[in-house]
Amino acid sequence: MMHRLGFVAALAALTAAGTARAQERPARDYYAWVASEAVDRIQLVRFGPAGLTLERAFTTGMMPTDPDGPHGVALGPGGKRLFVTTGHGTPFGSLWKYATADGRLEGRVELGLFPATLQVSPDGYLAYVVNFNLHGEMVPSSVSVVATDEMLEITRIPTCVMPHGSRLNAAGTRHYSACMMDDMLVEIDTRALEVSRSFVLRKGREHGTVGRLAQPAAARGASPAHDAGGHGMEPPKPGDVSCSPTWAQPSADGRRVFVACNKASDIAEIDVGRWTLTRRWPAGNGVYNLAATRDGKLLLATNKRGQSVSVFDAASGRELKRLPTKRKVVHGVAITADDRYAFVSVEGMGSEPGTVEVIDLRALATVGTLDVGAMAGGIDVASP
């Protein structure tokens, strides 16, 4: 009798475990696009009742013998167009436009040196692309503004050394980018298409400037060379108090901007109205990219040197969970429109494949992992 009861209990436990695993998978499908920089592959992944799977993929770029290096991806409103930056040009990079239905190329425009992160305006008419200039001289670079219908660069706005991590506020009225080598946050007025304000993030010297760029020379001296071995992977030297920002993420209501300080491994919060620093809080090792939920409750951060993703309460800055990733060099994060899941890209090291991981934002648990092409970086989620 006791043996039978033990068998029933074990069977019940297995059934419960199976039910729990099944509940980790959604009843409907979610999709995300991810770029693999080392192999010029753009991949569409699906997370749904069948788990996390590769839906399809295509190759981007024009150089047959060397990687073009797709770095950033962004969907236009409605999800019918996918925009991709390639950074390894000869010497300039490009912005590409593809039809998401079949991967058909619809246009390309040459931009500056190493175009990187990008976002499309809420109306879909303009794309904002930072020219990161990873391998060039350490001189101020720019943000390119592209008319998406014509695929024509309409202006190039000078900003700072190695601009990165660019994002628009929800209204599309302000564009923010982080200056990795100048320790600055730069705001662009999208109606005037010019720099409206900047903010120095060097610890102990934080201050904002209106109407022009702040003087970055002191911050630049703290970062004497490009981190060409993998930007965001170099730890700070003793006494280095630079921020080395890699991402700027406006809050859902646009009243705050969160900045990932990669060198300092902390997050700075800027009050947009007063243009002042409200707080800094500790983050994971080498915090790199950020994403905020639309309800304003959560802020997610990838930890490039820490092989993990942090989930913060946006109101308090308290870390709710730190989730380890399968591989090292954690890159991007994008959140589904219903704030239910986050898709994370991980580059991997050496000959390793990249990975895409899915985080359940209710359970605060990783619920899917899929190998993709090497150096998985730019990532964006499709609308439902």
Tens-digit pLDDT profile for residues 4-31? 545 444 444 444 444 344 457 899 999 9
Chain centroid to Cα 247, Å, comes to: 7
* C-alpha pair distances (Å), 271 with each of 195, 256, 291, 382: 17, 5, 17, 30
Among residues 31, 69, 68, the alpha carbon closest in space to that of 48 is found at 31
Helix or strand run (H / E) with residue 5: helix 2-23
Rounded to an integer, what distance in angstroms lies between the CA atom of residue 33 and that of residue 321? Answer: 25
CB atoms within 10 A of CB 68: 23
- List, for residues 118-148, the tens digit of each pLDDT value: 999 999 999 999 999 988 789 999 999 999 9
The gap from C-alpha 162 to its chain's centroid, in whole angstroms, comes to 16
> Running DSSP on this structure, what letter comes out for residue 352?
P
Q: Which of 23, 24, 32, 25 is nearest to 384 (CA)?
A: 32
Pairing of strands 51-59, 341-346: unpaired
Question: Which two structure tokens, joined as six digits, stand for 230?
Answer: 């993998």
Cis amide bond preceding 115, omega within 30: no
Cβ(177)–Cβ(130) under 8 Å? yes
d(CA 361, CA 132): 31
Q: How far apart are the first and last CA of the chain?
A: 52
The DSSP string of 110-143 is: E-SSSEEEEEE-TTSSEEEEEE--SSS-SS--EE
- Continuous H helices in 256-383: none
Instruction: Look at residue 54 in the predicted model and tell me its pLDDT.
Output: 98
Cross-strand pairs, 70 = 86
pLDDT of residue 216: 63
What value does the CA radius of gyration of the chain take, rounded to a whole number of Å? 21
219 three-class SS = helix
List the structure tokens of 167: 């994002």
Question: In whole angstroms, what is the distance from residue 309 CA to residue 331 CA?
Answer: 10
Helix and strand element counts for the chain (H, E): 2, 29
Which H/E stretch holds residue 156?
Answer: strand 152-158
pLDDT at residue 88, as a whole number: 83
Q: What is the dihedral of CA 204, 205, 206, 212, to 10 degrees?
A: -170
Contact 232, 262 (CB under 8 A): yes
Contact indicator for 257, 249 with CB cutoff of 8 Å:
yes
Look at residue 231 in the predicted model and tell me its pLDDT.
73
Residue-level pLDDT, tens digit, the chain, 384 residues:
445 545 444 444 444 444 344 457 899 999 999 999 999 999 999 999 999 999 999 999 987 777 899 999 999 999 999 999 999 877 899 999 999 999 999 999 999 999 999 999 999 999 999 999 988 789 999 999 999 999 999 999 999 999 999 999 999 999 999 999 999 999 999 999 999 999 999 999 999 999 878 876 444 444 444 444 457 788 888 888 899 999 999 999 999 999 999 999 999 999 999 999 999 999 999 999 999 999 999 999 999 999 999 999 999 999 999 999 999 999 999 999 999 999 999 999 999 999 999 999 999 999 999 999 999 999 999 966
Q: Which of 337, 340, 322, 333 is nearest to 355 (CA)?
A: 333
pLDDT of residue 188: 98
